[in-house]
Amino acid sequence: MNPWRPLPLLRLVIPFISGTIGGLVIGFYPLPSFVFILVMFTGLLLLLFSLKGIQYGLRWLPGIIIMISLVVCGFGRAIEGRRTNEQKQVAAFAGPVIFLVRIAGSPLVRNGSVRAMAELLALKNARGWEQLGSKCILRIYGNTEPGFFRYGRFYLVRGRPDPLVFFSNPHTFNYSAYLSSLGVKYMMSCSDKECRQVMNRKSSGMFALALDIRDRLLKVLKDNGLSGQEFSVSAALLLGYVNDIDPGLKSAFAASGTMHILSVSGMHVGIIFIFLDTVLSFLDKLRFGRSMKCLTEILFIWSYAAVTGFSPAVLRSAASLSLLIAGKTIRRQPEMMNVLATSVFILLIAEPGLLTDVGFQLSYLAVIGIVMMYKPIYSLYHTRLWFPDKVWGLIAVSMAAQLSTFPLSLFYFHRFPNYFILSNLIIVPLSNGIIFMGITSLLLSPIPFAGKLSVAGLKFLVHLLNACVLWIEHLPGSVSKGFFPGIPDVLVIYMLIVSMCLFLMKKQQVFLLVVLVCIVILEALVVYGDYKGTKGYYLAIHKGSMGYVIRIIKGRKELCFNSDIKMMNDKNAGEQIMNERMAEKAGQVFTRWVGVSGWQKATGFGEVGRFGHMLVAKEKKVWLLDHDLSPGLRSGIHADIVLITADIHVDMECLSRIFRAGLVLNVSNASHRKVLKWADEAKRIRLDFYDLRTAGFYHEEI
């Protein structure tokens, strides 16, 4: 029997996804007329074959034509999506100008500033208002009140958008590329005094209404006594609001392997469905009750998806569950893989860029793993006892989901939670209870005694959840770190997993042969990576909360210059540096101090030293600018990088004349206004200037 026969929609979505990937990766834009003609020609061929029939020997031809057509359609839709995200370029300005902006994302309060995605609608110039169509990350310093920024509101902002720069390397998440896939290519900063709301103007529409409802529900939770970590975790679990979660608690969830609990996903939507299905069960007895129940459930599910922010995981679960509800209503039991394929098809037609989203990828992989591997894993152990059977079922689900997602998780996050089975046995049931109790609390909030009682129960469950997460994090060896697979490694690991599963199910030796070949390829990739790592010579500069660190990496050795002894325990830069050292497999680390002049002896680094204000590494020269420029400095000093390390007065034009620098980096704690002034002056004289407080850490091969 043909194994593809029960999965017709899966066969169709695979070439469509292939075409979408090609459209997202390939840079050229084919003529729309060419795509249209090709699709029309394919349709005419299929019509001709259906009318006249086709010889048995050529029975494969219509399938090939359909596959090519779907590849072309996916490619064309992805290209169209890229064109939609391609924005009108914002001109380079010597200084701030006035923009009309609309807040297009949920504001995030961090470190004395409010940040949100914004649409640049228009700018004011000498001729009046000029229409724009760009997106930027807008950061406002000063006023951090929760109501200062609201989704959908319009503001007049005085600032200057700069192209978005976020330094990255193969060992870190490419945040700049992620924002670019969303159409965000600029960053703009200003003070709260340079931002004014346009009165009587706010967005209408479903998403604005949904977020307004979410804000009201969050207020209900606060008014009923929830605060601190109890409120932040409840808001994340119930409504997808993650802005208030403590970074330490978030790290604990990541270490326990239950980070997915904090992001609204299929589990949350499924619980909402079970709740609705139970409440609306009386409709099954009415004449048109099944249809009414179907429409009501789908409406509520998509409303909940809107309230929680339309995250990719929620979109996947809402689309899949809607198809299952519709199938159940017409008394059909659709194949789950066909349902997933249909939901992928619908979502990628609506937004091809979702394919690059990490949450979208992990969400679908987890569900595919559960669908494909849950039963084989569950069948490994049989018991007639109710409780052990339920526990084993939960373990089987956890193992199936983890097995299907861990290669991609290692690629993005470089860590593996060793106690993920224990975590899921404890935390998943607790989170389910919190969601049910949270829904009950919101429904009973108008009733004084019942509302307070349900909120007290919610507080207890959330407190217990947080305590369990922190306990698991502090268990010995809770997390294995230092995994840095490349794309080839991830693909080979997935091939290895699939081949192993097929061998265990079908017992055919050919799959075992594929497993052995995959193991050999992985070993070869590891050996090549180790060889390549011994040949590199890199310079890295990190900004911390109490200073900066300059790292010179030579093969497996590292010479680390700290600006201050406080940087030895700086949390902001410490985890970043440790992650890089694990990726580089640093065998020896020599610690030195920036303030010490002369050749600083370290094995293998005889060419590195500081002389006056110049730090020399191989042929790279870094000038450490920690005081105002002296009028006596001669012009024409060669420095590849000028590093501003203190809150000083700097004239960029004078700096450019004295140093023939190709790059100026700021690692000081100078005020935001002063850094903006430096950026404006550097922009005017075409000097590359970056603030490492917002641009990530600097990394280059030398």
pLDDT of amino acid 643 = 92
Of 32-41, 209-218, 437-446, 644-653, give the lowest mean pLDDT range.
32-41
Pairing outcome for strands 184-191 and 128-141: parallel
Q: Which residues does 387 contact at the CB level (< 8 Å), separation at least 6?
A: none
pLDDT at 520 over 90: yes
Mean pLDDT of 133-141: 83
- Asked whether the CA dihedral 315, 321, 324, 325 is positive or negative, the reply is negative
pLDDT at 46 over 70: no
**Residue 261 in contact with residue 268, Cβ under 8 Å?**
no
**Residue 123 in contact with residue 132, Cβ under 8 Å?**
yes
- Termini Cα distance of the chain: 59
pLDDT of amino acid 644 = 92
Measured CA angle at 491 (ends 485, 496), to 5 deg = 105
Q: How confident is the model at residue 464 (pLDDT cuts 50, 70, 90)?
A: very high
Residue 412 to residue 487: CA distance in whole angstroms: 10
Of 160-169, 198-207, 592-601, give the lowest mean pLDDT range.
198-207
pLDDT of amino acid 578 = 84
Q: How confident is the model at residue 384 (pLDDT cuts 50, 70, 90)?
A: confident
Instruction: Give the chain's count of helices (H) and strands (E).
Output: 21, 22
Of 51-60, 407-416, 549-558, 687-696, give the lowest mean pLDDT range.
51-60
Residue 549 to residue 566: CA distance in whole angstroms: 11
Mean pLDDT of 459-464: 91
Among 361, 377, 367, CA closest to 339: 367
The structure tokens 């808001």 sit at 235
The structure tokens 């939901």 sit at 343
Of 262-271, 392-401, 412-421, give the lowest mean pLDDT range.
262-271
pLDDT of amino acid 407 = 92
Which domains are assigned to the chain?
8-85 (no CATH), 97-203 (2.40.50), 211-481 (no CATH), 487-533 (no CATH), 537-701 (no CATH)
CA 171 to chain centre: 15
Residue 375 to residue 578: CA distance in whole angstroms: 40
CA dihedral 211, 216, 218, 220 (to 10 degrees): -160
Beta sheet of 548-554, edge-to-edge order:
588-593, 557-562, 548-554, 537-543, 698-701
Mean pLDDT of 472-484: 87
Largest CA distance in the chain: 93
pLDDT of amino acid 34 = 54
Q: How confident is the model at residue 246 (pLDDT cuts 50, 70, 90)?
A: confident
- Asked whether the CA dihedral 572, 578, 584, 588 is positive or negative, the reply is positive
pLDDT of amino acid 47 = 60
- Asked whether the CA dihedral 180, 182, 183, 184 is positive or negative, the reply is negative
Residue 673 to residue 688: CA distance in whole angstroms: 18
Residue 103 to residue 110: CA distance in whole angstroms: 17
Name the percent of the chain lying above pLDDT 70: 85
**Residue 549 in contact with residue 562, Cβ under 8 Å?**
yes
Residue 307 to residue 212: CA distance in whole angstroms: 8
Give the three-state DSSP class for 624.
strand
pLDDT at 53 over 80: no
443: how many CB neighbours lie within 10 A of its CB? 12
Of the two residues 435 and 40, the one the predictor is more confident about is 435
pLDDT of amino acid 132 = 80
Residue 422 to residue 420: CA distance in whole angstroms: 6
Q: How confident is the model at residue 600 (pLDDT cuts 50, 70, 90)?
A: low
Mean pLDDT of 163-189: 72
Tokens of 226: 């929830």
Q: How confident is the model at residue 161 (pLDDT cuts 50, 70, 90)?
A: confident
Q: How confident is the model at residue 90 (pLDDT cuts 50, 70, 90)?
A: low
Mean pLDDT of 6-11: 76
Tokens of 190: 């200003």
* pLDDT single digits (tens) 342-379: 888 888 888 888 888 888 888 888 888 888 888 888 88
The structure tokens 């100008």 sit at 97
Q: What is the DSSP letter of 130?
A: E
3-state helix vs strand vs coil in the chain, percent to 5 = 55, 20, 30
**Residue 439 in contact with residue 275, Cβ under 8 Å?**
yes
**Residue 96 in contact with residue 160, Cβ under 8 Å?**
yes
Write the DSSP string, 290-358: HHHHHHHHHHHHHHHHHHTT--HHHHHHHHHHHHHHHHHHTT----HHHHHHHHHHHHHHH-GGGGG-H
Q: E strands of 46-167, at which residues? A: 97-103, 108-110, 113-125, 128-141, 153-159, 162-163
Averaged confidence pLDDT in the chain: 80
pLDDT at 211 over 70: yes
Tokens of 605: 């680094």
Residue 277 to residue 360: CA distance in whole angstroms: 26
Residue 559 to residue 587: CA distance in whole angstroms: 11
Residue 515 to residue 503: CA distance in whole angstroms: 9
Of the two residues 25 and 458, the one the predictor is more confident about is 458
pLDDT of amino acid 283 = 83
pLDDT at 517 over 90: yes
Mean pLDDT of 184-188: 82
pLDDT of amino acid 661 = 74
Phi and psi angles of residue 648, each rounded to the nearest 5 degrees, phi first: -125, 175
Q: Can you give 239-283 as a three-state secondary structure string?
A: HCCCCCCCHHHHHHHHHHCCHHHHCCCHHHHHHHHHHHHHHCHHH
pLDDT at 421 over 60: yes
Q: Which residues does 483 contact at the CB level (< 8 Å), separation at least 6?
A: 410, 414, 415, 416
**Residue 542 in contact with residue 557, Cβ under 8 Å?**
no
pLDDT of amino acid 264 = 67
Mean pLDDT of 475-486: 86
pLDDT of amino acid 496 = 92
